[in-house]
Structure 1
């Protein structure tokens, strides 16, 4: 199969590209290498992909995409997005990179790749709002620019499916962690600060937050399981995560244990837009995708710590 992956130099998408290639598919990656976080880290991911025979085309999804579609694809995995809930990121960035970019990609598919087997939109549990412990039938109640614009993007994709213009599904991910996690996300930042003995910014109340922390390899297994099941998942919204829940404090304790170090804490005021609890209801994923997360929380964190030590400290 020939497969297009957007946001390919990012955290989850880079793992997905590698898995698809390992399964024998032809993979084309797209990324605009924007500076929301260090483009150098994305290029590090892209170099790992190139070593596996996967080239990442540098292009913005809001640009003319005709050259991307000179040869048709069987599947598109759309992971490119403006992430995070930083107060420093304006609404316009979320609208441009989550809504406009998704619509421009859909327009290109309609024009250049009408016989696509499936468009797999990657969404987020953030659409559910403060508490995400419900199934896919519960109305979304996002509380952040990120959640709101990702919900809009999801509905743009599913709107085209409802009109019969393409086959599509949307996958809502839960608290993904593991090697290549973005540098501002919890565990990469935690590992870095522990290693360097730097104070770690801890937002008020966050240690009690409950999360369905899901290892990236389990998420990727769920995503690749869609191939060949496009009829079964057509038009569906599917939660993908783990129904095992841990607090942020439990995660901190585990990383301290793995690294044999104690965290220096820099207490910060509560952060607007943070979810209080996520607990993935994955009955539909189990039924439609035979999905079952396998990696334990500790094992996944050990993998992430080792990745950080290998990539960023081996030359020190």
Structure 2
């Protein structure tokens, strides 16, 4: 098939391209920047209307709280333009014109009610400007006049992961200090970027429809993340400082969620674990568990090579 990949210069799409080509697909790429076939802004209707005819689309383009150009103010407009308007234009271009449309969502679309496990059937509700934009984009895709699927990943880790993890790992390596929000005892899922890319490629191959959660086996608590980073980087035991959750919440509210977003705040205060039953039933076989995903981030930030996945 001829497959268009949006956000093709991004963290998730980069490992996906090789997998799609290995499966025999002809890949067409687009992004706002980078070495891609079509450089442009999906929020520009003229650019999106000029994209080529293809058999399938993998829509991985999106902005999030760790995006380099995230503004301090006007974040609602920022997310709406880049996540909703861009998707709306893409849907307008390809609805009824492709055999398969695969969207990348986020686990923050699930209603964060403290469930022990979020299933693909769990209720959805945006709690912040980012998750609301992704949920609106998901509903635009779901209403298309062709078969659609959405992969719902949790925190994506692996080589290239930055965001808050850089400060966390550097604090441990340089100051021998781990600042842990709240109790640090809530299980939080992560998925390695290679496994997330593998699930996307599998969904394309099978032309599957519906929702597919992406999470690595064996969710860990933040306290356990510290254990893994200590072990991976062979650090002497670091001092752990727990910041009370009510204090974090008060700071988030006082700064209008510009330092810690509403969705991030909820994830710090309760478990965030995804069921991957439907993905496993499709034939997905993740190679990395949560320990290896955390270890990969630690090695990357510390400038050490990543260990190969177990065969």
Q: TM-score range by the shorter chain?
A: 0.7 to 0.9
Q: Is residue 286 from structure 1 mapped to residue 280 from structure 2 by the alignment?
A: yes
Q: Which ranges of structure 2 fall in alignment gaps of 5 or more residues?
A: 250-259, 306-311
CA contact (8 A) 2:109 2:124 kept: yes
Q: Is residue 134 from structure 1 mapped to residue 136 from structure 2 by the alignment?
A: no
Q: Is residue 97 from structure 1 mapped to residue 71 from structure 2 by the alignment?
A: no
Equivalent residue, structure 2, for 1:299:
292
Equivalent residue, structure 1, for 2:147:
167
Match of 1:83, SS state, is coil
Which of 130, 140, 153 is the aligned partner of 1:146? Answer: 130
Q: Is residue 155 from structure 1 mapped to residue 132 from structure 2 by the alignment?
A: no
Which of 268, 273, 277 is the aligned partner of 2:263? Answer: 273
What does 1:189-208 align with in structure 2 at a 5 Å threshold?
Answer: 189-197=167-175, 202-205=180-183, 207-208=184-185
Rounded to whole Å, the distance in 2 between the matches of 1:7 and 1:197 is 36
Q: Which ranges of structure 1 fall in alignment gaps of 5 or more residues?
A: 34-45
Rounded to whole Å, the distance in 2 between the matches of 1:247 and 1:87 is 30
Match of 1:153, SS state, is helix
**TM-score normalised to the size of structure 1?**
0.77
Rounded to whole Å, the distance in 2 between the matches of 1:116 and 1:311 is 42
Match of 1:65, SS state, is helix
Pair 144,208 (structure 1): closer, same or farther in 2 beyond 3 Å: farther
Equivalent residue, structure 1, for 2:17:
17
Q: CA RMSD in A?
A: 2.9
Which of 117, 120, 124 is the aligned partner of 2:106? Answer: 124
Rounded to whole Å, the distance in 2 between the matches of 1:214 and 1:140 is 20
Q: Name whichever of 289-298 and 72-81 sits farther off.
A: 289-298
Match of 2:41, SS state, is coil
CA contact (8 A) 1:190 1:252 kept: no
Rounded to whole Å, the distance in 2 between the matches of 1:201 and 1:80 is 32
Rounded to whole Å, the distance in 1 between the matches of 2:204 and 2:109 is 25
What does 1:240-255 align with in structure 2 at a 5 Å threshold?
Answer: 240-255=214-229
**TM-score normalised to the size of structure 2?**
0.78
Match of 1:169, SS state, is strand
Rounded to whole Å, the distance in 1 between the matches of 2:26 and 2:173 is 38
